[in-house]
Amino acid sequence: MSALAGSAVPRLLPGMRLRRDLVRDQWVLLAPERVIELDDIAYEVVSRIDGVRSVDALVDILAAEFDADRAQVAADVLDLLDDLVAKRVLGA
């Protein structure tokens, strides 16, 4: 499987919508014929994707903000982003 490089810049592909689902009280990504439920951590990552920040920059921000071990954050973020790229929610 193709892991993303730290310098890659992820972006939401056209047609993706990040939305609060008030009925289920959670964040969801609406994609073509698919609803991706985001847990709190996934939301923190996805909501910071802006098409400008690199994977490395996202990891830096999240590690600083949550005062967490950078290597651990990097592993989690890469897992999530890789999955979303495979699902064609993100381009990179």
Partner 1 sequence: MNALPGATPPAPPLAILLELTHRCPLACPYCSNPLRLVGMRQELATEDWLRVLDQAAELGILQVHFSGGEPSLRKDLPQLIAHARERGLYSNLITSGVALDRARLAALVEAGLDHVQLSIQDSEAEGADRIAHYRDSHRKKLAFAGWVSELGLPLTLNAVVHRHNAGRVPAMIELALELGAGRLEVAHTQYYGWGLKNRAALMPTRAQLDLATAAVQEARERLRGRLVIDYVTPDYYARRPKACMGGWAQRFLNVTPEGKVLPCHAAETIPGMRFDSVRERSLADIWQHSEAFLRYRGTDWMPAPCRGCERREIDWGGCRCQALALSGSADRVDPVCELSPDHEAVQQLAMREAAEPAPPFVYRSIKGA
SS3 2: coil
Nearest-approach distance from CB 63 to partner 1, in angstroms: 26
Report the residue number, 21 or 65, with the smaller CB distance to partner 1.
21
Identified binder of partner 1 from the candidate list 17, 40, 52, 67, rule CB under 8 A: 17
Q: Is 28 in the site for partner 1 (CB under 8 A)?
A: yes
Nearest-approach distance from CB 27 to partner 1, in angstroms: 12
- In DSSP notation, 13-27 reads PTT-EEEEETTTTEE
E strand intervals along the chain: 11-12, 17-21, 26-31, 34-38, 90-91
Q: Per CB under 8 A, which region of 27-35, 41-49, 50-58, 69-77 contacts partner 1?
A: 27-35
